Chains A and B, each alone.
Chain A
Amino acid sequence: MKTIFDTSVAGREGCWPCEGKAEEAYIPSELLRQGDIGLPSASELDVVRHFTRLSQRNFGVDGNFYPLGSCTMKYNPKFTEVVAAMPGFTRLHPVLPQLQGAGGQCQGALEVMYETEKLLSEITGMHAFTLHPMAGAHGELTGVMLMAAYHKDRGNKKTKIIVPDSAHGTNPASAAIAGYTVVSVESVDGIVDPAALAEVLDDEVAGMMMTCPNTLGLFERNLPEIVRMLRKVDALLYYDGANLNAVMGKMRVGDVGFDIVHLNLHKTFATPHGGGGPGSGPVGVCEKLEPFLPISRVVKLEDGQFFLDYDYPKSIGYVAPFYGNFGVVLKAYAYILRLGRAGLIRATENAVLSANYMRKRLEKHFEIPYNRICMHEFVASAAEQAKTGVRALDIAKALLDKGYHAPTVYFPLIVPESIMIEPTETENKETLDQFIDALIEIAEMAITDPAAVQAAPRTLPVSRLDETRAARAMELTDDL
């Protein structure tokens, strides 16, 4: 497909009802552009068709199934968009709550933030929340900084953070960026083993970061013992909420003994993501960590008014401009209210049911290394198929030809040729069956005609991309 620049013909232009022209008289002459602006010339129809075609080549959950493990690409109901587009919210200036006497003009927005914090606290069993972090990894870094602030305040000398090998890939990165040494603990039979933990646990451990269920889609059954062990050395337990979709409404992580939790509103609470954002990664803490939360904090006065409080001397300070991604928070708030307690629990149950249904139907066709009741996702392996030369990557590419987004492949690293599938609760049984049938067909083709699978995709705008060359000879700029 040609770029809009390729189709440019000098002199072509669209029309616009008013002549918007900058007042050149007010702009110093040395700042005025000399020469051509370098933009393409095209008619309005050319532009409309070009960008409509591009949009048709875009792949999203609005059009097709998106079983991307570890990412919870569920459908985002449109009513949340309507709520987020209400002019009472969109026309607010973010500096308003900080202006003297202007707080009265943004009480609704402040109430949304206050109530969302309360709802998230209720759902997770945590004492307090900050909505500021802009994404999951940002939430992780905020959480680890809270950990550090707590230990500093207590005079603890801590240098290490423990991360299981089944945790999310960002966990060790967040701990390292915050200045800790990362200590890995190996899973035994797919989950954290207290005996293995005991070998790496000592007084210098600041905390442990866990994803539960973990990236194998398995529930961490040894949590009570892990909590006891960590408390003995005053180490904190961090919950990576990326997989909360599996336990929302069923388990409150605060009740289990987690001290810090981040949630991915853009996963569990149905706000759009993929393509880089915007995300939202609120962080919840237990009571003893509340003084360290970032500022500002939304406070409710006795007369029912809301205001922003910055007076928290032990706070880790600012982690984001203003109050995080307010629009995303607003969508999550609308989603929680619309589903209610019963709806959130049903969503969780259906997410787990869907994953187990797929796992059972696929187990005869793919190796499933930890084949037992899973949570919201499961990890299959293409190790069998790899014997005929068809790797997980080839299977993922073949799925593209059949109209599906590829699942996550080669993660988690502890399963060779891994294919990580998360159906989510929003797909109906017919869609799940069609996807399973497609995977079975590819598995059969891997035996009868491996070369055909290796040659996929054939039906897309671009054929198999050379990922190695793309990574080795990167070209990140284009000279317009």
Chain B
Amino acid sequence: MIPDNLLYAKSHEWCSIDGDVATVGITHFAQEQLGDLTFVELPGVGDTFEAGAEMGSVESVKAASEIYAPVSGEVIEVNESLEDAPEKVNEAPYGDGWMLKFRIKAAPEGLLDAKGYAAVVESESH
């Protein structure tokens, strides 16, 4: 469950880049580790972040966890539907469970490809 066409942060966020717009969410592995999500807290449109900065949090029946911006830029769209339906992140982390769209201000740095992220998952699952 690590799509080849996405980029990944070690902190388990994914992003897909289309021109200067990056769509961001958390990975299948992240949602699996967290268990059923009960709450997703996201920033607002217009907020800006540097890559690696804390941009929100997710809560599950097990734990609360921060989510970090995988890219630097400005939030231009928020998946508002997650407020009432956090389960979308569990059901389709790379689809309906997307979280934010950023207008990126520079090419992403330090992100992993699918193979690199698979190694991170492998080392963390044991």
With a cutoff of 8 Å between Cβ atoms, the chain B residues found around residue A471 in the complex are: 36, 38-39, 59, 61
Complex formed: what's the CA distance from A410 to B36 in Å? Answer: 13
Q: Is the pair A413, B63 in contact by a Cβ cutoff of 8 Å?
A: yes
Instruction: Quote the shortest CB–CB distance from B50 to chain A (angstroms).
Output: 14
Instruction: Quote the shortest CB–CB distance from B15 to chain A (angstroms).
Output: 23
Instruction: Quote the shortest CB–CB distance from B115 to chain A (angstroms).
Output: 23
Given A410-B62, A410-B63, A467-B61, CB of A472 within 8 Å of CB of B125: no
Contact with A along B57-92 (1 / 0, CB 8 A): 001011100000000000000000000001100000
With a cutoff of 8 Å between Cβ atoms, the chain A residues found around residue B33 in the complex are: 416
Complex formed: what's the CA distance from A410 to B125 in Å? Answer: 14
Q: Is the pair B86, A472 in contact by a Cβ cutoff of 8 Å?
A: yes
Q: Is the pair A472, B38 in contact by a Cβ cutoff of 8 Å?
A: yes
Q: Is the pair A416, B38 in contact by a Cβ cutoff of 8 Å?
A: no
Contact with B along A413-439 (1 / 0, CB 8 A): 100100000000000000000000000
Instruction: Quote the shortest CB–CB distance from A379 to chain B (angstroms).
Output: 15
Q: Is the pair B62, A416 in contact by a Cβ cutoff of 8 Å?
A: no
Given A416-B33, A468-B61, CB of A383 within 8 Å of CB of B38: no
With a cutoff of 8 Å between Cβ atoms, the chain B residues found around residue A416 in the complex are: 33, 125
Q: Is the pair A468, B63 in contact by a Cβ cutoff of 8 Å?
A: no
Interface residues in B, total, Cβ within 8 A: 12
Q: Is the pair A468, B36 in contact by a Cβ cutoff of 8 Å?
A: yes
Complex formed: what's the CA distance from A416 to B121 in Å? Answer: 13
Interface hits, A391-426 → B, CB 8 Å? 410-411, 413, 416
Complex formed: what's the CA distance from A392 to B111 in Å? Answer: 32
Instruction: Quote the shortest CB–CB distance from A70 to chain B (angstroms).
Output: 14
Interface hits, B3-24 → A, CB 8 Å? none
With a cutoff of 8 Å between Cβ atoms, the chain A residues found around residue B38 in the complex are: 468, 471-472
With a cutoff of 8 Å between Cβ atoms, the chain A residues found around residue B39 in the complex are: 471
Complex formed: what's the CA distance from A346 to B74 in Å? Answer: 59
Instruction: Quote the shortest CB–CB distance from B110 to chain A (angstroms).
Output: 17
Interface of A is mostly: helix
With a cutoff of 8 Å between Cβ atoms, the chain B residues found around residue A383 in the complex are: 126
Interface hits, A373-391 → B, CB 8 Å? 383
Interface hits, A431-480 → B, CB 8 Å? 467-468, 471-472
With a cutoff of 8 Å between Cβ atoms, the chain B residues found around residue A410 in the complex are: 62-63
With a cutoff of 8 Å between Cβ atoms, the chain A residues found around residue B125 in the complex are: 416
Instruction: Quote the shortest CB–CB distance from B124 to chain A (angstroms).
Output: 8
Interface centre among A383, A410, A411, A416 (most CB of B within 10 A): A410
Complex formed: what's the CA distance from A25 to B33 in Å? Answer: 65
Instruction: Quote the shortest CB–CB distance from A369 to chain B (angstroms).
Output: 10
Complex formed: what's the CA distance from A47 to B39 in Å? Answer: 40
With a cutoff of 8 Å between Cβ atoms, the chain B residues found around residue A472 in the complex are: 38, 86-87
Complex formed: what's the CA distance from A468 to B38 in Å? Answer: 7
Interface hits, A5-33 → B, CB 8 Å? none
Q: Which residue on A lies nearest to B124, using beta carbons?
A: A416
Interface centre among A383, A411, A416, A471 (most CB of B within 10 A): A471
Complex formed: what's the CA distance from A410 to B35 in Å? Answer: 11
Instruction: Quote the shortest CB–CB distance from A473 to chain B (angstroms).
Output: 10
Instruction: Quote the shortest CB–CB distance from A464 to chain B (angstroms).
Output: 13
With a cutoff of 8 Å between Cβ atoms, the chain A residues found around residue B36 in the complex are: 467-468, 471
Interface centre among B38, B125, B126 (most CB of A within 10 A): B38
Interface centre among A413, A416, A467, A472 (most CB of B within 10 A): A472
Complex formed: what's the CA distance from A467 to B35 in Å? Answer: 11
Instruction: Quote the shortest CB–CB distance from A393 to chain B (angstroms).
Output: 8
Contact with A along B19-43 (1 / 0, CB 8 A): 0000000000000010010110000
Instruction: Quote the shortest CB–CB distance from B36 to chain A (angstroms).
Output: 4
Complex formed: what's the CA distance from A472 to B35 in Å? Answer: 13
With a cutoff of 8 Å between Cβ atoms, the chain B residues found around residue A468 in the complex are: 36, 38, 61, 87
With a cutoff of 8 Å between Cβ atoms, the chain B residues found around residue A411 in the complex are: 63
Complex formed: what's the CA distance from A383 to B33 in Å? Answer: 12
Contact with B along A258-282 (1 / 0, CB 8 A): 0000000000000000000000000
Complex formed: what's the CA distance from A471 to B61 in Å? Answer: 7
Q: Which residue on B lies nearest to A391, using beta carbons?
A: B35
Q: Which residues of B contact A (CB under 8 A)?
A: 33, 36, 38-39, 59, 61-63, 86-87, 125-126
Known: A383-B126, A471-B59; 6 extra A-B contacts, CB below 8 A, are A410-B62, A411-B63, A467-B61, A468-B87, A472-B86, A472-B87
Pick 17 A–B contacts, CB within 8 A, sort by A.
A383-B126, A410-B62, A410-B63, A413-B63, A416-B33, A416-B125, A467-B36, A467-B61, A468-B38, A468-B61, A468-B87, A471-B36, A471-B38, A471-B59, A471-B61, A472-B38, A472-B87
Minimum-distance CB pairs A-B, first 7? A471-B38, A468-B36, A410-B62, A467-B61, A472-B38, A468-B61, A413-B63
